Amino acid sequence: MKEPVFMKNARKVSIVIPAKNEGKALVWFLPLLKKTRPHDEIIIVNDGSDDDTSALCLTNRVKEVKHPYSKGNGAAIKSGARAAKGEVIVFLDADGQHQPKYIERLLDRLDEGFDLVVGARRSRTSQAGLGRWAANSTYNKLASWMVGARVEDLTSGFRAVDAKKFKQFLYMLPNGFSYPTTSTMAFFRAGYSVAYEQVDVLKREGKSHIKPLKDGLRFLLIIFKICTLYSPLKLFVPVSASFFAMGITYYMFTFFVYGRFTNMSMLLLSTSILIFMIGLVSEQITMLQYKGTDREHQRMTD
């Protein structure tokens, strides 16, 4: 039998695990986690489960934060972060995919000076289907273009983060499944250091709560959210330029063929200006949003 891996990190660590009807995985995962991380605070956020999640928390002597009804994965993350007492928060999924043995590696990267370390799933071990793999690849490429750095896994729920800095962004996190995307882009925008650590994931226990057909529209919404969280102008300027180019092209066509300036050309050019102005306003709102975060960070460090 292997000896448990004791924490080399001097900082107090809280492990937050959102769970909704994941008793099948928690029955073996919690004892393994307790054995691997015996000195860490472990918090299970019971998001309205109707299985034996509460009993398993009691049996394994871990802290339970209970929602009276299901509020969503992001809401569970926020509840767990508020309850966490550690200087570092490690987030894990409750379905058994994330292996506790990798936690120390994420913490070691934090000690190197990073503020957020994400457990990036190796493609050869990821359990995602073709559709989800394609969606995640698109997220990663878009985010990489936005931030000007390689983003290896934008949607991974396995991450270690400086607690004070993470709590600055709680008000921005959605209650649904896109909290990893929101928090990662918020850290990039705020100028914090983000690192990725390659990890292998196991096959999840039970059935995923994500429904591809129902959540398909979320794909497009998250795409826009990624852009608007980081730099709205990077989204609005290309769209505005496209409408402007179409307006000028159509104007030249109608001028040489009919000798006049048409209403369609005016509509396209006006739309171009309107989209650009919306982008400018969005950029200013985003800057004000993060300016408030900077003030909160300054207050906490004083």
* pLDDT tens figures, 114-128: 999 999 987 655 555
The verdict on pTM exceeding 0.85 is no
**Confidence (pLDDT) at 208:** 56
Q: Predicted confidence band at 3 (pLDDT cuts at 50, 70, 90)?
A: very low
**Nearest to residue 61, comparing CAs of 85, 97, 33, 86?**
33
**Confidence (pLDDT) at 89:** 98
Q: What are the structure tokens assigned to 7, written together?
A: 């924490």
What is the C-alpha to C-alpha distance for residues 49 and 22, in angstroms, rounded to an integer? Answer: 8
CA 287 to chain centre: 20
* pLDDT tens figures, 15-72: 999 999 999 999 999 999 999 999 999 999 999 999 999 999 999 999 999 999 999 9
Residue 201 scores a pLDDT above 50:
yes
Helix, strand, coil % in the chain, rounded to nearest 5: 55, 15, 35
Amino acid of residue 155: T
**Confidence (pLDDT) at 174:** 86
What is the C-alpha to C-alpha distance for residues 157 and 173, in angstroms, rounded to an integer? Answer: 13
199-209 mean pLDDT: 73
Residue 282 scores a pLDDT above 80:
yes
What is the C-alpha to C-alpha distance for residues 27 and 60, in angstroms, rounded to an integer? Answer: 9
In the DSSP assignment, the letter for residue 237 is H
Domain ranges of the chain: 13-230, 232-301
Contact 197, 118 (CB under 8 A): yes
* pLDDT tens figures, 57-107: 999 999 999 999 999 999 999 999 999 999 999 999 999 999 999 999 999
What is the C-alpha to C-alpha distance for residues 101 and 44, in angstroms, rounded to an integer? Answer: 18
196-204 mean pLDDT: 88
208-217: long-range pairs with CB below 8 Å, 24+: 208/95, 209/20, 209/73, 209/177, 210/132, 210/177, 212/129, 212/131, 212/132, 215/177
186-195 mean pLDDT: 91
**Confidence (pLDDT) at 214:** 56
Task: Reduce the DSSP state of residue 254 to 3 states and report it.
Answer: helix
The CATH classification number of 13-230 equals 3.90.550.10
